[in-house]
Amino acid sequence: MSRSSMPLRWVERCTLWLYGQFMRSLQPFLLRKLRRRGQQEPGYLHQVPQRLGRYDTPAVLPGAVWVHAVSLGETRAAGLLIEALRQRWPGMRLVLTHSTATGWAQGQSLLRQGDVQVWFPWDTPQATQRFLQHHQPALGVLMETEVWPVMVQACQQARVPLFLANARLNHASQRSAQRWSWLSGPAYRGLRGVWAQSEADAQRLRSLGASIEAVLGNLKFDVQDQPQALVQAQFWRSHWVLGGRPRPVVMLASTREGEEAEWLAALAAKPEREQAMRDAGVLWLLVPRHPQRFEEVHVAVKASGMAVFKRSALLPDDGVWPQAAAQAEVFLGDSVGEMPVYFQAADMALLGGSFKPLGGQNLIEAAAFGCPVIMGPHTFNFAQAADWAENSGAASRVADMDAALDQVLAWSTHAADLARAKHQGLQMVAQSRGAADRYAQAIMAFGDFGDQGIEGALASPTN
């Protein structure tokens, strides 16, 4: 008997049943929370019944590949894997699911004719079963961290092999899962296979019962060039000048709640440093992580006395650069999906989420676009990439926001050091590419599809 088909212990079965009932009882509260979120981000109110596993649109033909990418970062990584899979199966049909509006928006660019994009259902027996019955995927691929107990059980019952790709798990999540082992144990054991980003991730996942097939690296190192984004970034840079000289552009990338206040306080704490940055013409490119905070951040920065210009105020293709944009001290990146533009427009970036104990954000994209990173002490969500960047010289780790601004001034006045960090980041990414092909090959090599093999299963109109 295979590991994934072993009967659950009775305690685990009871716990899973109670969990499913509890999740079902939460649905009215989740719907209310969704409506409140939707007032700030209307995308969350699109096709709400799909969260309950109810669909008013046709499914793709049975035998599709189902990929779940919860949010924006996972969707970008999923796009690299999907492209590698399409190269092997040009006729592959895709069911793409998300849990956030930013993930949905990014995912639309990955669809081809015949594909389907829907919300990931809430983790109840009824919703997960309706999802699988409607879409009938040949297999499922969860990206990075998204393992839900009831969905795993539903896939086992429906005989849908479920994999976890680009898998990562930090120490805090491992401890939390171990505390809830009656739920997490069956979920991780129920996965057909797991491919981890690093050996450290693999060891933590094994401790929860996951069957690790291989360590294949991080898909995000396969980030592709964005020539159109580069053209737009260069256009902005051509207007970011002071006294005929290009302005140093310092990005605050994917900032989280409280970090903008820390930045403003650190600026004010040392007037001589702030004046040196003003004299150098530093332009702060501030990009909050969550769209619902755009206006909140705009108000806070404006209240500090700094001149702010919003990205959303730029008119498309009119060729006119507003006077307010030319005089701004802060350019607020209140848009979604333009991180390649922002990174290619910036000289350096402060890594959001790393100055509060939130685990940081993915810094690989910054390195790939030649933007050196200054990161705070909290990078546990992307520990391996952060360590690689620090050790290679592509990133500088500092103790707090005050030290980060000292590093900004140091790089702004030592062009050779900044250029060296940029070069090291590009080298780090170039040396780590190839994960997308490895993941696609690993999926293709799995043999849970009878005599026809996985390629035949995906190409067949019935499964």
Rounded to an integer, the average pLDDT of 195-210 is: 95
Residue that the structure tokens 């498309």 belong to: 316
**Both tokens assigned to 311:** 């990205």
CA 186 – CA 83 distance, rounded (Å): 31
**The two structure tokens encoding residue 306:** 């700094």
On the question of pLDDT at 134 being above 60, the answer is yes
Write out the two tokens for 118. 């829907």
Whether residue 461 is predicted with pLDDT greater than 50 in this model: the reply is no
Q: Return the pLDDT at 58.
A: 81
Instruction: Pick the closest to residue 175 from 207, 144, 148 (CA basis).
Output: 207
How far is residue 377 from each of residues 352, 354, 421, measured CA to CA in Å?
11, 6, 19
Q: For the chain, first and last CA: distance in Å?
A: 23
Those residues with Cβ within 8 angstroms of residue 431's Cβ, 6 or more apart along the chain or in another chain: none
Contact 359, 379 (CB under 8 A): yes
For the record, the structure tokens of 385 come out as: 């990439």
- Mean pLDDT, rounded, for 370-386: 94
Buried b (16+ CB within 10 A) or exposed e, 213-229: bebbbbbbbbbeebeeb
Yes or no: say if 189 and 22 are a contact pair by the CB < 8 Å rule: no
Residue 331 pairs with which residues in a beta bridge? 285, 309
CB 54 within 8 A of CB 130: yes
By the 10 Å C-beta count (0-12 exposed, 13-18 middle, 19+ buried), 406 is classed as middle
Sheet holding 330-332, edge to edge: 308-310, 330-332, 283-288, 249-255, 348-351, 373-375, 395-397
Q: Each residue of 165-180: pLDDT tens digit? A: 999 999 989 999 999 8
Pairwise CA distance, residues 136 & 443, whole Å: 18
Quickly tell me which residue has 């390649």 as its tokens: 340
Is residue 247 scored above 80 in pLDDT?
yes
Grouping H, G, I as helix, E, B as strand and the rest as coil, residue 462 is coil
CA 94 – CA 60 distance, rounded (Å): 8
Instruction: Say what the pLDDT of residue 452 is.
Output: 42
Write the pLDDT tens digit of every residue in 333-351: 999 889 999 999 999 999 9
> 174 near 105, Cβ under 8 Å?
no
pLDDT (tens digit per residue) in 66-115 = 999 999 989 999 999 999 999 998 889 999 999 999 999 999 999 999 99
Q: What is the pLDDT of residue 360?
A: 92
220 token code pair: 């995000």
> Does residue 213 have an active-site annotation?
no
CB 34 within 8 A of CB 99: no
Burial 140-161 (b: 16+ CB within 10 A, else e): bbbbbbbbbbbbbbbbbebebb
Q: What is the DSSP code (8-state) at residue 99? A: S
Q: How confident is the model at residue 59 (pLDDT cuts 50, 70, 90)?
A: confident
- Which is nearest to 265 in space by CA: 377, 405, 155, 362? 405
| pLDDT recorded at residue 269 | 95
Predicted confidence (pLDDT) per residue in 251-288, tens digit: 999 999 999 999 999 999 999 999 999 988 999 999 99
Look at 190-199, 378-387, 450-459 and tell me which has the smallest mean pLDDT. Answer: 450-459
pLDDT of residue 446: 76
CA 461, chain centre distance (Å): 32
CA distance 114 to 459: 13
- The helix or strand, by DSSP H or E, that contains position 282, with its residue range, turns out to be none
Q: How many helical (H) and strand (E) elements, i.e. helices and strands, does the chain have?
A: 21, 16
Mean pLDDT score of the chain, rounded to an integer? 90
What is the mean pLDDT of the segment spanning 126-152? 95
Q: Which residue has the tokens 């930045």?
A: 263
Whether residue 11 is predicted with pLDDT greater than 80 in this model: the reply is no
How far is the CA of 181 from the CAs of 161, 174, 206, 396, in angstroms?
22, 10, 13, 37
Among candidate residues 74, 213, 260, 365, the one labeled active-site is: 74
Average pLDDT over residues 173-201: 92
pLDDT one-digit tens code per residue, 284-324: 999 999 999 999 999 999 999 999 999 999 876 556 788 88
Q: What average pLDDT does this structure show over 377-393?
A: 92
